[in-house]
Amino acid sequence: MKVEIPVQNKAKPAFRFELFDFLYKYGTIITIIVLIAVFALVNPAFIQSNNIINILRSISIVTIIAIGITISLTVNGFDLSVGSVASLSNAIVISMFVWFSQNTMVALFSAILAALLVGIFNSIMIVKLKIPDMLLTLATMFIIQGIALTYTKGSTISQNMVMPDGTFASGTISPLFQKFGQVPWIIVIMLIIVAVVHIFLTYTKHGRFMYIIGGNKEAARLSGIPVNKYKVAAYLLSSLFAAIGGIVLASRIMTAEINAGTPYLMDAVAAAFIGFAVLGAGKPNAFGTFIGAVLIGILQNGLVMMSVPYYAMDIVKGLVLAFALGITYYKQR
């Protein structure tokens, strides 16, 4: 006698709620909403328009520098020299005004040219000599940091400063340049850069080629994509946006502080990697980087309003970055 064994229906339901996938895709957005709600309950001034503008202003420089890191990540690179490049650009643009009495165009051109020279150096060493990008840009970070300190002689550059010969600097900072670091222009510059880079990476063939190179360099080469040229372009753009960040910083504080751009490196790296998970992108992208910077800005602003000691800020930012990296690399397994 044949006995029929009932077979359980293993068909999956049409819709299956995957908690991890949902959190991976929307977790950053949800976190931002929750943080806003919590900080607003603790201190209603948090959601006032003045504070919202203050947050956007505070993340502008971080976002601009992080966009450069994002571009280097698209080709599976990583540029650790952006903080030092921002410091160098900051020093050069202010010195052009204060020491050499140059106009705005000359000051901007000089700062950007110096940054592009760093990008060329990084590109040659990484693309031609095959030095791992993280190691090379780490070395470049120290080199450029030393160059910036040597150039400024380890001192702050400001209007009416005392020169080595005992006289006072006669140059003044252009009123036009001063506007770059003021609201709303500093926010407008940030948003334009985010929008332009988002369109470039998402909707142009060059952006798609960069993603292909980052995904599989050998496959990209076999398909006819000039891999080396795009890697060079990525490091040049990374240095360019670091320079813009340093220039905007100079306009905001109106001085060239010692290693002024270095503290922005950690926040920029965190913003770029947090951006991987925004809306489930799974890859470096400009919009995600901006959202990552917003998250960091909200955390910093809210914790300050809650009177959390400043020395605890890095703990929080480090934990946020570790969490974002954990989710990103777990998803990519």
Say how far apart CA 87 and CA 63 lie, in whole Å. Answer: 16
Burial 176-207 (b: 16+ CB within 10 A, else e): ebeebbeeeebbebbeebbeebbeebeeeeeb
Q: Which pLDDT belongs to residue 123?
A: 96
Q: Which pLDDT belongs to residue 328?
A: 67
Q: Which pLDDT belongs to residue 332?
A: 62
Confidence of residue 13 (pLDDT cuts 50, 70, 90): very low
Mean pLDDT (the chain) is: 90
Q: Which pLDDT belongs to residue 158?
A: 94
| Listed residue (319, 248, 239, 303) closest to 62, CA to CA | 248
pLDDT at residue 93 above 80? yes
What are the tokens at 331? 């998803």
What are the tokens at 10? 């293993």
Cα three-residue angle 322-328-330, rounded to 5 degrees = 95
Contact 235, 222 (CB under 8 A): no
Confidence of residue 16 (pLDDT cuts 50, 70, 90): very low
What are the counts of helices (DSSP H) followed by strands (DSSP E) for the chain? 13, 0
The identity of residue 199, as a single letter, is: I
pLDDT at residue 292 above 90? yes
Confidence of residue 321 (pLDDT cuts 50, 70, 90): confident
Confidence of residue 331 (pLDDT cuts 50, 70, 90): low
pLDDT digit string, tens, across residues 18-69: 777 777 788 888 889 989 999 999 999 999 999 999 999 999 999 999 999 9
| Listed residue (241, 226, 229) closest to 271, CA to CA | 241
For 162, the 3-state DSSP assignment is strand
If one compares 326 and 222, the residue with the highest pLDDT of the two is 222
pLDDT at residue 92 above 60? yes
Say how far apart CA 291 and CA 298 lie, in whole Å. Answer: 10
pLDDT digit string, tens, across residues 244-259: 999 999 999 999 998 8
Say how far apart CA 190 and CA 198 lie, in whole Å. Answer: 12
Confidence of residue 98 (pLDDT cuts 50, 70, 90): very high
Say how far apart CA 209 and CA 182 lie, in whole Å. Answer: 36
Confidence of residue 189 (pLDDT cuts 50, 70, 90): very high
Q: Which pLDDT belongs to residue 15?
A: 47
Q: Which pLDDT belongs to residue 329?
A: 66
What are the tokens at 53? 């503008």
If one compares 4 and 220, the residue with the highest pLDDT of the two is 220
Say how far apart CA 117 and CA 236 lie, in whole Å. Answer: 8
Q: Worst-scoring range by mean pLDDT, 93-107, 217-231, 302-316? A: 302-316
pLDDT digit string, tens, across residues 191-236: 999 999 999 999 999 999 999 999 999 999 999 999 999 999 999 9
Q: Worst-scoring range by mean pLDDT, 125-129, 160-164, 203-207, 245-249? A: 160-164
Given CA atoms 300, 328, 219, 81 in this order, what sign does their dihedral have? positive
Mean local confidence (pLDDT), 90-99: 97
Q: Which pLDDT belongs to residue 3?
A: 52
pLDDT at residue 10 above 70? no
Confidence of residue 318 (pLDDT cuts 50, 70, 90): confident
Q: How far is CA 27 from CA 67, 93, 251, in A?
A: 21, 40, 35
- CATH class entry, domain 47-317: mainly alpha
What are the tokens at 214? 């980052």
